[in-house]
């Protein structure tokens, strides 16, 4: 089992235990506070904002990659035009 899979398993066990404690009324104040914060408007907005930032970063990355591809296409087109017009190529 990988380290990440093991961590996910431990997290799932901890969440299951916290759920059991909350259902039974035996959860500590830290557990209760943790889950109350997760349900708060601020937490939801922060999570939403992080998701949007993730999308923005992905879009910027794709735009940079696209710009590099367009630049290469232009360079190839200009090179081909020079070659066809007799101003470039291997003959010189």
Q: Enumerate the domain spans of the chain.
A: 1-38, 49-87
* pLDDT top residue among 20 and 84: 20
pTM over 0.85: no
Please list, residue by residue across 45-77, b when 16 or more beta carbons sit within 10 angstroms of its beta carbon and e when fewer do: eeeeeeeeeeeeeeeeeeeeeeeeeeeeeeeee
CA pair distance 66, 72, nearest whole angstrom: 10
pLDDT, one tens digit per residue, over 48-90 is 999 999 999 999 999 999 999 999 999 999 998 988 888 765 5
At 18, the pLDDT band (50, 70, 90 cuts) reads very high
């Amino acid at each position: 089992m990988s380290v990440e899979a093991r961590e996910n398993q431990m997290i799932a066990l901890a969440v299951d235990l916290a759920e059991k404690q909350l259902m039974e009324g035996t959860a500590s104040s830290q557990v209760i506070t943790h889950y109350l914060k997760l349900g708060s408007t601020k937490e939801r907005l922060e999570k939403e904002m992080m998701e949007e930032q993730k999308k923005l970063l992905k879009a910027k990355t794709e735009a940079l990659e696209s710009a590099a591809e367009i630049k290469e296409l232009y360079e190839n087109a200009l090179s081909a035009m020079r070659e066809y017009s007799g101003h470039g190529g291997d003959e010189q």
